[in-house]
């Protein structure tokens, strides 16, 4: 059984549109690396970074990085 658009309520029609837009955005903006494995050296680097953060180490402020790269923040 198929339903015609004319038979839908406004709320039902809006819901369908929302679902279609969300699905399309997920397709277009989804993570292209989804499902891929991280290399061991990247995992180790992330672990070191997280551990340093737990110990209170501070990273480089974003403003400083952008200034070094000649970008505007």
Show me where the domains of the chain are located.
7-68
pTM of the model: 0.43
Task: Kindly report, residue by residue over 33-65, the tens digit of the pLDDT.
Answer: 888 999 999 999 999 999 999 999 988 999 999
Which pLDDT score, from 0 to 100, does residue 43 have? 96
Q: How far apart are CA 9 and CA 27, in angstroms?
A: 27
Which pLDDT score, from 0 to 100, does residue 31 have? 87
Which pLDDT score, from 0 to 100, does residue 1 have? 61
Tokens of 33: 């690396």
Residue 12 has pLDDT above 90, yes or no: yes
């Amino acid at each position: 059984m198929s339903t015609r658009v004319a038979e839908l309520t406004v709320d039902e029609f809006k819901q369908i549109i929302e679902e279609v837009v969300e699905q399309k955005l997920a397709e277009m903006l989804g993570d292209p690396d989804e499902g891929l494995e991280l290399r061991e050296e990247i995992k180790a680097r992330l672990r070191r970074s997280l551990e340093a953060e737990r110990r209170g180490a501070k990273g480089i402020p974003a403003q400083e990085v952008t200034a070094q790269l000649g970008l505007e923040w």
